[in-house]
Structure 1
Amino acid sequence: MESQTFDHGEDGKFSSLEYILDESCSRKSGSICLSRHPRRHPESLFLVLVLDWTLFLLLRFHLSSPSAILTRSDYQLLHLFTLSCFANLPVPLSARHETKMVQFSLTSALALASSLFAASTLAAKSNGCGSVNATLTTGVRQINVNGLQRQYTLKLPDGYDGKTPMKLVFAWHWRFSRMEDVVTGVSIQPWYGLESRAKGSAIFVAPDGINKEWPNDGGRDVAFADAMIKELESGLCIDTDQLFSTGFSYGASMTFALACARPKVFRAVSIIGGGQVSGCEGGTDPVNFLQFHGTEDTVFPMDKGLELKDRFVKNNGCQAKDITMPTNPGQSTRTDFTCTKKKLSFVAYVGGHVGAPLGEQNPLAPDTTWDFFTKST
């Protein structure tokens, strides 16, 4: 049998592994076969196990991606190669794989697995990524939802290329207002202050409510959200794992309804001065949940706001904790809960029913919301 050495380190910490060309196996299979030399070291075995588990994860999560670099047979071949290192098993290599594998060391295998694992995160790409039929642009969109004509404003970031998956943020207006008030910023910063903080990393949507409100009768407004998501994901390049929702008052209530009904669609929600007036279909699954509520809110008094929080304390597997209420003008307190499933934070501020807690230009809600969104998993 002919042997070949594969370097496995530069400083002697991991000595070279020696592989043997198994002529008997080669004659039987008509392929090139490699076996690991009986000499081995614990450190090398550890690397083999790390590689094999990495390949297992890639098989599970990466092969479903339209951007997968290798085929299933390629991964199976790499798996056999690691088993050879572990158990002295000969690995048959077809002529197709000869060039690919004869010079294949464990170090290069780990490097390849690492790069493929990073690429596997692209599995969250929407169907609109790179599509030649993607024609959606910034502006007002019309959409028919179960026989009702609905509309929303779409805002693409500068430099949008249609290939890089973007976050998708829904910003719902309050009662007796329109989507334009969210876009231009009426008593709030435009897009609740989030668009400027996204720095080109997100697509923004401002839906328009029927009769300027979100009663969600029969789930019609949740269906509206579903229809928008379907249209946007097919026509734009969106990271489908990074959908977010926020709103004030009725818009906060609509966001709460989505937290209840679509917790697996939205990664995180931010609720500003909301109550349960848009329903809560489902409402038993966890979602990353951030809430702001004023101590002097007379539309949804504090106890009504706490009811929303309490539901997701339970859903998110959080330990019960009292909310510390601020007392002086300009003050706010944040209570972060210890949870086993998803995150939950409650921000109480001194003030009434407003979409911009502590003032229109105050960064409390925008900064806290964007930080919460980007750190949610």
Structure 2
Amino acid sequence: MAFSLTSLLGLLALCPTASLALRPSSGCNKAPALVTPSSTTTPLRITSNNKQREFFVRLPPNYNSAVPHRLIFTLHALGGTAQQVIAGQGGYLPYYGLPPLANSSDVPTVFVVPNGLNNGWQNQNGEDVTFLRNVLTTVEGDLCIDQDLRFSTGFSYGGAMSYSLACSLGKEIRAVAVLSGNPQISGCSGGTEAVAYYGQHGTGDNVLPLAQARQMRDRFLKNNGCASQAEPAVPASGSQGKVKTVYTGCQTDKPVTFVVFDGGHVPTPREPGQGETFTHGETWEFFGQFK
């Protein structure tokens, strides 16, 4: 059965979290000239703000230049490196645990892992936003990316930088997952656009307090038009449990989810009796709804 573009778009309107890849990048239908399978171990380098910066790229199995891919930034914490995120060392899961989940998706995923300056994301005068925008331009000129499916996640400073991207590139970022972040350390230039937002934070975080995570969430509750509600209860102290809130009334394609867990400043909290963290499952549940 044949469908016209008009009828297909009408069908997609019935599923507001789905979208047709109408913004393929300029790298589609081209043989990559820059990114190779070795780009997971050998950094790619660009000059941004007169500084040499580096990043790594992970291609999915059987990369196909004719198919628009999802792109996910995975950003390290203060004192961390892109190499640790790739290898799953220093408290990280490899690529925050997302590739096995992404591989089961019908939209293939490219992971981009940049290195921050001085092992962080101070974003002075917006230089890290500029760098990551330049990375997008470079990667999308070489690979086939759906420009409507750009995402970012990270822990601590990496979460703060993901929040900063949502503020500065609101019309260019589909969703972010901010893990134990902070609204000040990477800044928030702009911050008026609606962006799908997942936040996660520990009640006992003595590094970046929970109140600051609520400030970030509240910005996007407002931007996304979500219904106001009382502050959800937090898990009991010592329970190691979590409370997940999916907010109502948000724009249909700009949801907000917030998870509070009983714990400290950690990227991989676990619930009692669970052998692995819930972080990557919750992050992927949020990101994976956009296609």
Taking structure 2 as the reference length, what is the TM-score of the superposition? Answer: 0.86
Instruction: Compute the displacement of 1:330 (Å).
Output: 2.5
Equivalent residue runs for 1:133-282 within 5 Å? 134-138=33-37, 139=39, 140-186=43-89, 187-199=91-103, 201-276=108-183, 277-282=185-190
The structure 1 residue matched to 2:243, chosen from 328, 333, 353, is: 333
Q: What is the SS of the residue equivalent to 1:151?
A: strand
**2:13 matched residue in structure 1:** none
Equivalent residue runs for 1:15-164 within 5 Å? 111-113=2-4, 117=8, 121-132=20-31, 134-138=33-37, 139=39, 140-164=43-67
The structure that is helix-richer by fraction is 1
Identity %: 36
Q: 1:363 to 1:264 in 2, by over 3 A?
A: same
| Structure 2 residue 206 is matched with structure 1 residue 298 | yes
The structure 1 residue matched to 2:283, chosen from 366, 369, 375, is: 369
The structure 1 residue matched to 2:258, chosen from 342, 346, 361, is: 346
* 2:250 partner amino acid: T
2:33 and 2:172 map into 1 onto residues whose CA distance is 22
1:135 and 1:211 map into 2 onto residues whose CA distance is 26
Instruction: Compute the displacement of 1:132 (Å).
Output: 4.0
1:132 and 1:184 map into 2 onto residues whose CA distance is 27
Select between 220-229 and 353-362 the one with higher mean Cα deviation: 353-362
Q: 1:122 to 1:297 in 2, by over 3 A?
A: closer
Please give the per-residue CA displacement for 1:46-100, whole angstroms capped at 9, x wherever unaligned.
xxxxxxxxxxxxxxxxxxxxxxxxxxxxxxxxxxxxxxxxxxxxxxxxxxxxxxx
The structure 2 residue matched to 1:307, chosen from 210, 215, 238, is: 215
2:79 and 2:225 map into 1 onto residues whose CA distance is 36
* 1:309 partner amino acid: R
> Does the CA contact (< 8 Å) of 2:226 and 2:248 recur in 1?
yes
2:220 and 2:5 map into 1 onto residues whose CA distance is 36
1:122 and 1:116 map into 2 onto residues whose CA distance is 15
**Unaligned 5+ runs, structure 1:** 1-107
The structure 2 residue matched to 1:283, chosen from 191, 194, 207, is: 191
Larger Rg belongs to: 1
The structure 2 residue matched to 1:317, chosen from 212, 215, 225, is: 225
**2:12 matched residue in structure 1:** none
Instruction: Compute the displacement of 1:190 (Å).
Output: 0.5
Instruction: Compute the displacement of 1:242 (Å).
Output: 0.5
2:7 and 2:27 map into 1 onto residues whose CA distance is 22
Q: 1:161 to 1:273 in 2, by over 3 A?
A: same
1:323 and 1:181 map into 2 onto residues whose CA distance is 34
Q: What is the SS of the residue equivalent to 2:118?
A: helix
**1:14 matched residue in structure 2:** none
Instruction: Compute the displacement of 1:116 (Å).
Output: 7.8
Instruction: Compute the displacement of 1:112 (Å).
Output: 4.3
* 2:84 partner amino acid: D
Taking structure 1 as the reference length, what is the TM-score of the superposition? Answer: 0.67
CA RMSD after TM alignment = 2.2
2:227 and 2:70 map into 1 onto residues whose CA distance is 30
- The structure with higher relative contact order (CA 8 Å, sep 6+) is 2
Instruction: Compute the displacement of 1:202 (Å).
Output: 0.4
What is the aligned residue count?
Answer: 268
Select between 169-178 and 120-129 the one with higher mean Cα deviation: 120-129
**Unaligned 5+ runs, structure 2:** 10-18
